[in-house]
């Protein structure tokens, strides 16, 4: 009896320590990510014309990150108190916003890679494609896609909460008996976007080696390759593990913590994408042209 009691106390202490660690992790991401993304969005909107496809993609990426950061406060409260007072609808919304961040971030980062690919490898032939109008159409399609997928996912998730009478959120007492078909959407999407980023990175790297060897443009070349390296790192570290973890019967919380960190690193992508990130609109446009070649 004493051994059972000691085991229960140890399990409870370990669970409390783990929950405190999650609360600290999500709180840290929120503390860093909120001001960084808010400042990045303000700079992109106030100092850069939204006539550049890259600027349009980055604005939407910043919006996606801000939506994620706002929901982290609810995760902090849950893991700090162990209670979820907001009901199942709020739980579904918070979960969908996290999934949407992974999906839209992977799509917008891929759009940025594709835009750089066209600008570097096909600078003349791609001018009619790299327009603000086409960029907004692509962005609208991406948001529409994730919202359409959210509808059946939300219904399925709500049924799960009602069926097992789950009164908490993020950490559930029950496991689903199988893997729903909708669970394959995110892994397939992330893997497809990763493949596009890998191909883009290879093509741009080969082009930069053969065409941009003059020393005057080395700095810009390094910036361009840093963008692609960061994009691949985002997929390998933040997007892919949490997307594939649906097939593993274990807690997703550590991977969700890790994936949420992506919103703190996206501002670096904006900085390396624009030599003139802090400059006024006219100067920034010139800098963007110089970076992409």
Domain harbouring 275, CATH code = 1.20.1070.10
Query: What sign has the CA pseudo-torsion 233, 235, 239, 241?
Result: negative
Neighbours of 155 (CB within 10 A): 12
3-state SS class at 127: coil
CA 168 centroid distance within chain: 25
Cα angle 39, 42, 43 (rounded to 5 degrees) comes to: 85
- pLDDT for the residue 174: 64
3-state SS class at 221: helix
Q: What is the CA radius of gyration of the chain?
A: 21
- pLDDT for the residue 150: 94
13 Cβ contact list (under 8 Å, min separation 6): none
- pLDDT for the residue 131: 92
Each residue's pLDDT, cut to its tens digit, for the chain (293 residues) gives 444 434 443 455 667 788 899 999 999 999 999 999 999 999 888 877 788 898 899 999 999 999 999 999 999 999 998 888 888 889 999 999 999 999 999 999 999 999 989 988 888 888 888 999 999 999 999 999 999 999 999 998 888 888 776 677 887 766 666 677 788 999 999 999 999 999 999 998 888 887 654 433 434 677 788 889 999 999 999 999 999 988 876 778 899 999 999 999 998 888 777 654 444 444 444 444 444 44
Phi, psi of 85, rounded to the nearest 5 degrees: -90, 5
- pLDDT for the residue 126: 84
| 0.95 exceeded by pTM | no
- pLDDT for the residue 293: 42
239: closest CA among 181, 171, 182, 191?
191
The percent helix, strand, coil of the chain (3-state, each to 5) is 80, 0, 20
* CB 72 within 8 Å of CB 30: yes
- pLDDT for the residue 85: 85
CA distance 3 to 275: 63
- pLDDT for the residue 50: 81
DSSP code at position 217: G
3-state SS class at 93: helix
- pLDDT for the residue 77: 92
285: closest CA among 7, 43, 47?
47
**Buried b or exposed e, range 126-139, using 16+ CB within 10 angstroms:** beeebeeeebeebb
Instruction: List the structure tokens of 136.
Output: 């907004």
- pLDDT for the residue 218: 38
- pLDDT for the residue 160: 83
225 Cβ contact list (under 8 Å, min separation 6): 204, 205, 208
CA distance 95 to 217: 44
Structural domain total, the chain: 1
- pLDDT for the residue 271: 77
* CB 26 within 8 Å of CB 260: yes
Domain boundaries, position 239: 2-292
7 Cβ contact list (under 8 Å, min separation 6): none
């Amino acid at each position: 009896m004493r051994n059972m009691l000691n085991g229960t106390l140890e399990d409870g202490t370990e669970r409390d320590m783990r929950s405190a660690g999650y609360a600290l992790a999500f709180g840290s991401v929120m503390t860093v990510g909120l001001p960084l993304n808010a400042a990045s969005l303000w700079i992109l909107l106030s100092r850069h014309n939204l006539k550049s496809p890259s600027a349009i993609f980055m604005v939407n990426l910043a919006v996606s990150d801000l939506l994620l950061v706002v929901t982290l406060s609810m995760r902090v409260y849950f893991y700090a108190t162990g209670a979820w007072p907001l009901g199942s609808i709020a739980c579904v919304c918070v979960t969908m916003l996290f999934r949407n961040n992974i999906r839209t971030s992977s799509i917008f980062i891929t759009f940025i890679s594709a835009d750089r690919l066209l600008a570097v490898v096909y600078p003349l032939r791609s001018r009619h494609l790299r327009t603000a109008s086409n960029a907004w159409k692509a962005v609208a399609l991406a948001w529409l896609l994730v919202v359409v997928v959210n509808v059946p996912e939300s219904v399925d998730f709500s049924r799960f909460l009602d069926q097992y009478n789950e009164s908490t959120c993020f950490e559930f007492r029950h496991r689903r008996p199988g893997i729903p078909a909708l669970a394959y959407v995110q892994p397939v999407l992330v893997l497809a976007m990763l493949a596009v980023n890998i191909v883009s990175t290879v093509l741009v790297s080969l082009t930069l080696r053969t065409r941009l060897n003059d020393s005057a443009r080395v700095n810009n070349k390094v910036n361009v390759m840093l963008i692609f390296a960061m994009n691949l790192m985002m997929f390998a570290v933040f997007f892919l593990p949490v997307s594939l973890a649906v097939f593993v019967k274990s807690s997703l919380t550590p991977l969700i913590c890790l994936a949420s960190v992506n919103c703190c690193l996206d501002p670096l992508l904006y900085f390396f994408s624009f030599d003139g990130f802090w400059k006024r609109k006219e100067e920034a446009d010139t800098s963007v042209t110089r970076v992409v070649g």
